[in-house]
Chains A and B, each alone.
Chain A
Amino acid sequence: MALVNLKINGIDVEIEEGSTILEASEIAGYEVPTLCHADGLEPFTSCFLCVVKIEGGRGNLVPSCATKVTEGISVTVESDEIAESRRMNLNLLLSDHSGDCVAPCTVACPSSIDIQGFLTLVREGRESDAAKLIRETAPIPGALGRICPRPCETACRRSRVEESISICYMKRHISDTEIKEFGEVQLPDPSPSTGRSVAVIGAGPAGMTAAYYLRLNGHSVTVFEAHAKSGGMLRYGIPYYRLTDQTLKDEFDAIEGLGIEVRYNTVIGRDMSVKHLEADYDALVIAIGAQGASSMRVEGEDLPGVYSGIDYLGQIGDGGDPDIGNKVVVVGGGNTAIDVARTAVRKGAEVTVLYRRTRAEMPASSFEIDEALHEGVNIEFLAAPVKVEQKGKGVSVRTIRMELGEPDASGRRRPMPVEGSEYEIEASSVISAIGQKVVTDSIVETGVGLTRWGTIVADPDTFMTDRPGIFTCGDCQTGADIAVRAVGNARKAAYSVNQYLNGEDVTGEPEQFNSTMGALEDISEEVFKHYEKTPKVEMPLIGDKQRVTTFVEIETGFARDKAKSEAERCLECGCEAALECKLRIYSTEYGADQSYFAGDIRDFQNDHTHATIKMEVNKCINCGACVRACAEIKGFNVLAYVGRGFGTRMVAPFGRSLVDTICDGCGECVTVCPTAGIMYKKGAGNEAGL
Chain B
Amino acid sequence: MENTRVFVGLGSCGIAAGAQDIYDYMAPDLKSGGLDLEVTSCVGMCYAEPIVEIEHNGERRRYGYVDKKFADELLESVKTGTFPEKNMIALSEDGKKYLDRQVKIVLQNCGIINPECIDEYLEADGYKALTKCIEEYKPEEVVSIVKASGLKGRGGAGFLTGLKWSFLAGAKGDKTGDTECRDPVLSRKGDKTGDTECRDPVLSRKGDYKYLVCNADEGDPGAFMDRSILEGDPHKVIEGMLIGAYATGAKEGIIYCRAEYPLAIKRLNIAIAAGEEKNYIGDNILGTDFSFHLHVKEGAGAFVCGEETALMASIEGKRGMPRLRPPFPANSGINKSPTNINNVETYGNVPFIILNGADAFNKYAFKNSYGTKVFALAGKIKRGGLIEVPMGLSIREIVTDIGGGTSSGRPVKAVQMGGPAGGCIPERLFDTPIDYDSINETGAIMGSGGMVVMDDSTCMVDVARYFLSFTQNESCGKCTFCRIGTKRMLEILIRITEGNGKLEDLDKLEELAGHITKTSLCGLGQLAPNPVLTTIKYFREEYEAHIKNRECPAGVCKSLITIQVIPDNCTGCTLCARVCPVSAIEGMRKKIHVIDPETCTRCGLCIEACNFDAIEVV
| Interface residue ranges, A against B (CB under 8 Å) | 2, 17-18, 43-49, 51, 59-63, 66-68, 70-72, 85, 88-89, 92-93, 95-96, 597, 599-600, 621-622, 624, 640-641, 643-648
Contact = CB atoms under 8 A, between A and B. Distances in A.
Contacts of A600: 487, 491
Interface of B: 186, 188-189, 191-192, 194, 302, 319, 321, 323-324, 326, 472-481, 483-485, 487-488, 491, 511-512, 515, 517-521, 526
B474 A95 contact: no
B480 A71 contact: no
B616 to A, nearest CB: 35
Contacts of B481: 48, 89, 92
Nearest to B484: A92
Given A43-B324, A645-B483, A92 B488 contact: yes
Contacts of A60: 517-519, 526
A568 B110 CA distance: 76
Could you say which of A46, A60, A95, A621 has the most chain B C-beta atoms within 10 Å of its C-beta? A46
B475 A646 contact: yes
Nearest to B471: A645
B488 A95 contact: yes
Of the listed residues A63, A599, A646, the one surrounded by the most CB atoms of chain B closer than 10 A to its CB is: A646
B472 A646 contact: yes
B518 A622 contact: no
B68 to A, nearest CB: 44
A196 to B, nearest CB: 46
Contact of B480 (A46, A66, A72): A46
Contact of A45 (B472, B485, B488, B521): B521
Could you tell me the dominant secondary structure of chain A's interface residues? loop
A48 B323 contact: no
B352 to A, nearest CB: 32
A48 B479 contact: yes
Listed from nearest, the 5 A-B pairs whose CB atoms lie closest are: A648-B477, A92-B484, A646-B487, A599-B491, A597-B488
Nearest to B478: A46
Given A92-B481, A646-B472, A85 B324 contact: no
Instruction: Give the most central of A48, A51, A622: most B CB within 10 Å.
Output: A48
23 contacts: A18-B192, A44-B323, A45-B478, A47-B479, A48-B521, A61-B519, A68-B191, A70-B186, A70-B188, A71-B188, A85-B519, A89-B515, A89-B519, A92-B484, A92-B485, A96-B487, A597-B488, A599-B487, A622-B480, A641-B476, A644-B473, A645-B483, A646-B475
Nearest to A61: B519
B474 A645 contact: yes
A14 to B, nearest CB: 15
A645 B473 contact: yes
A48 B519 contact: yes
Given A45-B479, A648-B476, 9 more contacts: A18-B194, A46-B521, A597-B484, A597-B488, A600-B487, A621-B480, A641-B319, A644-B475, A648-B475
Contact of A85 (B326, B484, B518): B518
Given A18-B192, A60-B519, A645-B487, A622 B477 contact: yes
Contacts of A72: 188
B466 to A, nearest CB: 15
A565 to B, nearest CB: 43
A76 to B, nearest CB: 13
Contacts of B326: 68
Given A48-B521, A646-B472, A646-B487, A17 B515 contact: no
A67 B188 CA distance: 15
A17 B191 CA distance: 8
B188 A645 contact: no
A624 B484 CA distance: 15
Nearest to B195: A18
Contacts of A92: 480-481, 484-485, 488
Nearest to B189: A71
A62 B522 CA distance: 11
Given A89-B519, A96-B484, A624 B478 contact: yes
Contacts of A47: 479-480
Nearest to B525: A48
Contacts of B517: 60
A536 B186 CA distance: 67
Contacts of A71: 188-189
Contact of A646 (B191, B323, B477, B478): B477
Nearest to A649: B477
Nearest to A73: B188
Contacts of B189: 2, 71
Contacts of B188: 70-72
Contacts of B191: 2, 17-18, 68, 70
B29 to A, nearest CB: 49
A523 B191 CA distance: 54
A523 B472 CA distance: 26
B480 A89 contact: yes
Contacts of B475: 644-646, 648
A46 B483 CA distance: 10
A306 to B, nearest CB: 53
Nearest to B186: A70
A68 B332 CA distance: 15
Contacts of A49: 480
Nearest to A53: B518
Nearest to A84: B515
A48 B526 CA distance: 13
A308 B491 CA distance: 56
Given A45-B323, A624-B478, A646 B194 contact: no
A520 B483 CA distance: 28
A63 B521 CA distance: 9
A43 B325 CA distance: 12
A35 B476 CA distance: 18
Given A59-B518, A61-B519, A597-B488, A646 B483 contact: yes
Nearest to A60: B518
A600 B489 CA distance: 12
Contacts of B515: 85, 88-89
A644 B488 contact: no
Contacts of A70: 186, 188, 191
Contacts of A643: 477
B302 A644 contact: yes
Contacts of B302: 644
A300 B518 CA distance: 72
Nearest to A72: B188
B514 to A, nearest CB: 9
A84 B481 CA distance: 13
B353 to A, nearest CB: 29
A68 B189 CA distance: 14
Given A46-B479, A95-B488, A640 B319 contact: yes
A60 B515 CA distance: 9
A597 B483 CA distance: 13
A72 B186 CA distance: 11
A66 B332 CA distance: 15
A648 B480 contact: no
B81 to A, nearest CB: 58
A18 to B, nearest CB: 7
A68 B475 CA distance: 26
The listed residue with most B CB atoms (<10 A of its CB), out of A60, A88, A647, is A88
Contacts of A96: 484, 487
Contacts of A2: 189, 191
B538 to A, nearest CB: 23
A71 B186 CA distance: 10
